[in-house]
Amino acid sequence: MSPPWEGGDYKFSPKVHFKTLNSIDMFKEDTLKDDTILITGGGSGLGLSMAHKFAELGSDIAICGRTEEKLQNAVEELKEHGTKVKYYVTDVRDYEAVGEMFDGIRDDFDQITGLVNNAAGNFLSASEDLSPGGFKAVVDIVLHGSFNCTHHFGNHLIKQKQEGNILNITTTYAEDAGSAFVLPSACGKAGVLAMTRSLAYEWAEYNIRVNAIAPGPFPTEGAWTRLFPTKKFEKKYIDRIPAGRYGDHEELANLAAFLMSDLAPYITGECVTIDGGEKLSGGQFNFIDGLMSRSKLKKFFKMMKG
């Protein structure tokens, strides 16, 4: 799909898929017709990839972020799909500013039917070296920002007696193990996951579905260089993934489109992991796979039996 992305002091090129993504035709061109979906942090990375997929399937698109130039460039890209697209320079940490943004979206589009809470921040740090400001910055974007947008959107839907969909982008470490060296992100994303399930139950009465996606490694130019600055980092990480490759943005965008569409009307409160099996690497004896080749392992196991 995309050309190999170049960052830091190395390049990567994912393994070839079993099937090319272009051969998968699970959606119709009008799957999201009559929808208007807001994607926070939609000016780049996974947010922009989801925006492309939603627009390709007929949805009008609103994106927000803090950098106007990035948003302007994204809108120019998204126009190719022929649906209505607008951007809003908004800091999701500011509750009042988020409210003004939703007023603007309703004025510009007459409606809003879906929200993807994608805006996030993250960086590597020993937890003892974290500053209160660094911790707060990430949690404010991830957790408070998701709440701010969800609260405004949910109240709009309830007031209008309108059904709608909310999709939160979490992480694979939000639920069980947490993660060393990214403590603010782990705390913020765990809170978003709890909010997903809490509101899915509470707002089902209003026909509002709330789901989440927990992505594994999907390279994005900004975040990737901060979290994987060298080839050694990248190699260590990919060795943990049973699929042996990173995710393609199209794969995550397809999943997001499915959850936001009428193809999934009975799914709510769910968090879908998409990580090539990385989360499974915590199995007690999974480390054995990295000790030697599979053929040598088989010989070793036979020797043990003997």
Residue 163 token pair: 């059904």
Q: Residue with structure tokens 């139950």?
A: 201
Q: Which of 78-82, 106-110, 168-172, 280-284 has the lowest mean pLDDT?
A: 280-284
Average pLDDT over residues 153-179: 94
* pLDDT in the model for residue 29: 87
Q: Break the chain into its structural domains and give their ranges.
A: 30-305
* pLDDT in the model for residue 118: 98
This prediction has a pTM of 0.86
The per-residue pLDDT for range 242-294, each reduced to its tens digit, is: 898 989 999 999 999 999 999 999 999 999 999 999 888 776 566 667 777 87
Backbone phi, then psi, for 11, in 5-degree steps? Answer: -120, 155
Average pLDDT over residues 22-44: 87
> Diameter of the chain by CA atoms?
75
- Residue 181's contacts (CB-CB under 8 Å, 6 or more residues apart) are 124, 125, 126, 127
Confidence band, pLDDT 50/70/90 cuts, at residue 180 = confident
Is 201 catalytic? The answer is no
* pLDDT in the model for residue 229: 61
Q: Choosing from 87, 88, 173, 246, which is the catalytic residue?
A: 173
Average pLDDT over residues 168-193: 92
Which of 28, 78, 79 has the alpha carbon at shortest distance from 57? 28
The per-residue pLDDT for range 184-226, each reduced to its tens digit, is: 999 999 999 999 999 999 999 999 999 999 999 888 776 666 6
Query: What CATH number belongs to 30-305?
Result: 3.40.50.720
Residue 137 token pair: 């910055």
What SS3 class is residue 94? coil
User: What is the rounded CA–CA span in Å between residue 66 and residue 19?
Assistant: 37
**Angle formed at CA 295 by CA 293 and CA 301, multiple of 5 degrees:** 100
Q: Give the type of residue at 184.
A: P
Q: Could you tell me which residue, 8 or 215, shows the higher pLDDT?
A: 215
Q: How far is CA 118 from the centre of its chain?
A: 6
